[in-house]
Amino acid sequence: MTATVENTLTHSSIVPVQVLLEQYAISHPEIDSDEALEAQLDLIERAYHFSTLHHAGQVRKSGEPFMVHCTQVVLTLIGLQLDAVTIAAGLLHDVVEDVEEVTIEQLAAEFGEEVAVLVNGVTKITGLSFRSQEELQAEYFRKMLVSMAKDVRIILIKLADRLHNMRTLSFLEEEKQQRISLETREIYAPLAHRFGMAKIKSELEDLSLKYLSPDVYRDLASKLDQKRAEREKLIDEIRQPIVKALKDAGIDATVNGRAKHFYSIFTKMQRRNRPFEEIYDLLALRVVTDTVPNCYHALGIIHTLYTPIFDRFKDYVSRPKMNMYQSLHTTIIASNGETAEIQIRTREMDRIAEVGIAAHWLYKEGREEVRDGENREDWLSQALEWQTDMTDPKEFMSYLRMDLYDDAIFVFTPRGDLKELPQGASVLDFAFAIHTDIGLHCSGAKVNGNIAPLAGKLQNGDTVTIFTSPHQTPSSYWLDIVKTTKASSKIRSWFRKATLEQSISLGEDLLDRELKRLKVKRKVTDELEGLAKEYGLPDANRLYAAIGRGEYSAAQVAQRLLPEEPSEEEPPRESVLTRFVDRVRRSRGGVKVTGIDNLMIRFAQCCQPVPGDPIIGFITRGRGVTVHNKECANIVDDLERRLEVHWDVEKDQFFVVGLRIFGTDRPGLLNEISRTITDAGINITHAAMDTTDGMADGNFGIEVEHLSQLDRLIVRIKKIKGVDRVERETGVKYGNVSEDVFDHLEQDPGN
């Protein structure tokens, strides 16, 4: 079939339209209606001529006409026995991207909506601005994932496209060769593996190795070539007895040697830390028969002829891989002492092993029915689910690479349902594989009837029972024990949601208290919605969250909700920023300098003194007097620049101080600390809580009137369950305004 065409045409030849049409007809013997075949061939021919017309004059880096690429991509797609719509889309896959006047809408009008959807799925993102190449790459693959979920043929076109690009990569400069080869090895080859397309996967891996490690590639090629004759002789010595024994048993089968790919040999050398000369299992054979019973019969015959290595046996016939792959794998020791890997499968399995998901497409088209219970696109469904939780491009690409690479183990539920997980997966990963809610509330487990920790690593064939509790919620250390992308993304999503909910609750509480203090009794819900829009936020909840996170103070927002002219009896409380700037500009600011008036006063951010702290003044050049705590390590030993100062605080004058709170992480800790502070009548300027390995580290900015008020608050906070210690913080920022801004205001108070 297409093998003949590929032998007579190089990868740099334009395949004539007549050849493509003939090969398509040969690859689809199931089309029994001349009328149907003619309609499909007409679609392909029209797409061919459209592509030829619009790519006219365009050349690739090799200097060859662009149509070389289009027809070579289609030759691969025909080899996968794909339908006419996919072939047409393959011919047109670059026209929208490379020809300005051609649009997706035009393709839909000319060739139908189905063709247009496929072309759009493989078209690069244009017309948008991205901050980095990585962000552009992440958004492209995100788009491709979403498109693939709608129509899996999109990835088949993209893989054929990448395959020809890799075959002709030598014409690009070295930097592009490296970048494209790395992307191919990390994304496209694993994608081909995920979709069961072994032939394309192996060629992509070998070509990637050729450009990423050219010396290694040349060395392997040379050594394999030198030993080819010896290897073929050894394979034939193993093969002949198998052929005879199968024939004697009446089993219809073919037995052939198969080539080990460069990349698989290279990874084996790396994994075992051995040179090429010490990699002994380079011999490989494949037995292809007609029925599943004959596969097992052939296995028994081979094991009577040769000694099997039992821990290397794998049964993927009764337990297919998620990418549709089925085969029996056994490794035997031949009479000459050499080891050989043997795969045994049916002809249908052999076809699926080569073309993977493309064979599934044929089933969907009606050649055969897909067997009940099979969900061949499980990974794609999961990938589509977790990608929605990823907002950071770097995080998305990292998870995509990790998710594509994983080798699989098979684990059972108590009812015997099979779950595929990556090597190294934990009990907690299994819980999330069953259902997100089960994972989020997983409180314990049994593995093979024995109590097991959530972090316990699972082995092939384990049976796992999961226990849940409505009171159980994720802990930060869970992120350290899960391996699957689904579990990790769902845990992170839960924390983001929980943090948002806590921030909303805290912000709402802070604003309610401030409005009560200002005696605002009317409902402000509608006003808050409008105010949120003014702040550039989508709704009132996001404004509450911003208050809870300290991005805006409750006093600042409350001021915006007051009437234009507040009553004299109840003057509005100033924002933190307004009070601070006013404090800087006033001559005294709560501190009196002995014997001198009208000096600019500022409070040192290194020690943040509050009334009750012993203080000392220090004359700063051009910036008045800076007030420090007398015990501050940053006081300069220049006695001539020191001034005696003492507190002269007016009523309702507040001072910002930072608190650092350490403890054990638990749900609601941030909320309880915040409520303790506000219940003490103290305003919070900002609040943040980081958690690592089950420990909490909180940073709070608060406004106090004097030291005794601060001391009483610290005693209260220490009584909260989970809090280990509380320290005064230094260098606190005021909302989103850093100390540098205040320094600028002090230097130029007229602004």
Q: Element (H or E) spanning 582, and its range?
A: helix 576-585
Q: What is the pLDDT of residues 715-747, one digit of tens each?
A: 999 999 889 999 887 543 333 333 333 333 333
Query: Using CB atoms within 10 A of its CB, is residue 35 exposed (0-12), middle (13-18) or buried (19+)?
Result: exposed
Reported as a single tens digit per residue, the pLDDT across 626-675 is 888 887 877 766 554 566 777 776 656 777 888 999 998 887 788 889 88
Residue 292 has pLDDT above 90, yes or no: yes
pLDDT-based confidence at residue 680 (cuts at 50, 70, 90):
confident
Confidence of residue 509 (pLDDT cuts 50, 70, 90): confident
Query: Whole-number mean pLDDT of the chain?
Result: 78
Q: Which residues, in sequence order, are bridge partners of residue 702?
A: 657, 684
Strands (E), 264-407: 283-289, 307-308, 314-315, 328-333, 339-346
**Rounded average pLDDT over 696-702:** 86
The total of other beta-carbon atoms located within 10 Å of residue 305's CB is 15
pLDDT of 239 higher than 90: yes
Kindly state whether residues 578 and 464 are assigned to the same domain: no
DSSP structure class, residue 595: T
Distance separating alpha carbons of residues 513 and 67, to the nearest angstrom: 71
Phi, psi (deg, nearest 5) at residue 300: -60, -40
Q: Are 545 and 687 in contact (CB under 8 A)?
A: no
- CA-wise closest residue to 266 among 234, 218, 196: 218
Q: Are residues 745 and 597 in the same domain?
A: yes
> What are the helix (H) ranges across 388-455?
393-405, 427-434, 436-440
Q: What CATH number is associated with residue 78?
A: 1.10.3210.10
Boundary residue ending a domain (527, 547, 571): 571
- Give pLDDT tens digits for 409-424: 778 888 877 787 888 8
Structure tokens at 556: 């600042």
Mean pLDDT of 187-216: 88
The SS3 call for residue 422 is strand
Looking at per-residue confidence, does 599 or 542 come out higher? 542
- Per-residue burial over 676-694, b if 16 or more Cβ lie within 10 Å, else e, is bbbeeebbbbbbebebeee
Residues 198 and 231 in one domain: no
| Angle at the Cα of 289 from the Cα atoms of 287 and 295, rounded to 5 degrees | 80
Active site residue 570: no
568 annotated active-site: no
Taking only the tens place, the pLDDT of each residue in 710-722 is 888 999 999 998 8
Report DSSP letters for 316-339, one per residue: TTTS--TTS---EEEEEE-TTS-E
pLDDT of residue 244: 96
Based on the domain organization, do 205 and 260 belong to the same domain? Answer: no
728/702 Cα distance (integer angstroms): 11
> What pLDDT band is residue 589 in, cutting at 50, 70 and 90?
low
What is the DSSP code (8-state) at residue 418? E
Residue 389 belongs to some domain of the structure: no
Sign (positive or negative) of CA dihedral 610, 616, 620, 623: positive
Q: Are residues 457 and 498 in the same domain?
A: no
Domain annotation covers residue 247: yes
Selected catalytic residue, list 6, 22, 97, 672: 97
Least confident of 116-120, 205-209, 581-585: 581-585
Among residues 212, 236, 254, the one where a domain terminates is 212
Do 495 and 618 sit in the same domain of this protein?
A: no
Select the more confidently predicted residue: 409 or 360. 409
Q: Dig out the tokens for 295 from the structure.
A: 């596969």
List, in sequence order, every residue forming a beta bridge with 307; answer none if it has no partner.
333
Three-state DSSP class for residue 684:
strand
DSSP for 135-149, written as a single string: HHHHHHHHHHHHHHH
pLDDT of residue 379: 52
Domain assignment of residue 383, yes or no? no
> What is the CATH number for 358?
3.30.460.10
H/E stretch holding 672: helix 669-679
Asked if 413 and 289 sit in the same domain, the reply is: no
DSSP state of 702: E
Residue at a domain's end among 164, 190, 212:
212
Please indicate, yes or no, whether residues 230 and 361 belong to a single structural domain of this protein.
Answer: yes
pLDDT at 593: 53
Residue 215 banded pLDDT, cuts 50, 70, 90 = very high
> Looking at 2-6, 455-459, 647-651, 657-661, which range is the least confident one?
2-6
The whole domain housing 612 covers 574-751
pLDDT exceeds 80 at position 702: yes
Q: Is 410 contained in some domain?
A: yes
Residue 581 has pLDDT above 50, yes or no: no
Tell me the per-residue pLDDT of 617-633, one tens digit each, with 9 for 90 and over: 776 644 557 888 887 87
For residue 490, which of 366, 604, 389, 364 has the smallest C-alpha distance? 389
Residues 602 and 694 in one domain: yes
CATH of the domain at 461: 3.10.20.30
Whether 606 has a pLDDT exceeding 60, the answer reads: yes
- Mean pLDDT over 26-50 rounds to 91
Statement to judge: residues 152 and 231 lie in one domain: no
Q: pLDDT value at position 330?
A: 94
| Residue for token pair 């090969």 | 23
d(CA 642, CA 632): 13
Which value, to the nearest 10 degrees, does the dihedral of the CA atoms of residues 454, 460, 462, 468 take? 30
Model confidence at 138: pLDDT above 70: no
**Whole-number Cα distances in Å, 580 to 202, 332, 656, 742:** 66, 81, 9, 8
Confidence tier at 130 by pLDDT (50, 70, 90): very low
pLDDT at position 143 is 62
Residue 58 is assigned to a structural domain of this protein = yes
Distances (CA, A) of 677 to 523, 559, 610, 709: 25, 21, 17, 11
Residue pair 81/28 in contact (Cβ under 8 Å)? The answer is yes
Domain of residue 583, CATH code: 3.30.70.260
Let me know if residue 652 belongs to a domain.
yes
Radius of gyration of the chain, Cα coordinates, nearest whole angstrom: 35
Q: Which of 387, 453, 394, 392 is nearest to 426 (CA)?
A: 453
- Residue 505, domain member (yes or no): yes
CB 356 within 8 A of CB 323: yes
Dist. CA 631–CA 79, nearest whole Å: 81
Whether the per-residue pLDDT at 586 is higher than 50: the answer is no
Tokens of 178: 């490296």
How many domains does the chain contain in total?
5
Q: What is the pLDDT of residue 730?
A: 57
DSSP character at residue 736: T
Rounded to an integer, what distance in angstroms lies between the CA atom of residue 386 and that of residue 487?
Answer: 9
Q: How far apart are the first and last CA of the chain?
A: 81
User: Does the global pTM surpass 0.75?
Assistant: no
User: Residue 539 corresponds to which tokens in the numbers above?
Assistant: 């709704």
Q: How many helices (H) and strands (E) does the chain have?
A: 32, 21
Q: With b meaning 16 or more CB within 10 Å and e meaning fewer, what string describes 199-219?
A: bbbbbbbbbbbbbebeebbee
| Candidate list 6, 45, 98, 529, residue with the active-site label | 98
What is the spatial distance between Cα 27 and Cα 86, in angstroms, rounded to a whole number? 14
Is residue 398 assigned to a domain?
A: no
Same domain, 706 and 716: yes
The verdict on 499 and 564 lying in the same domain is yes
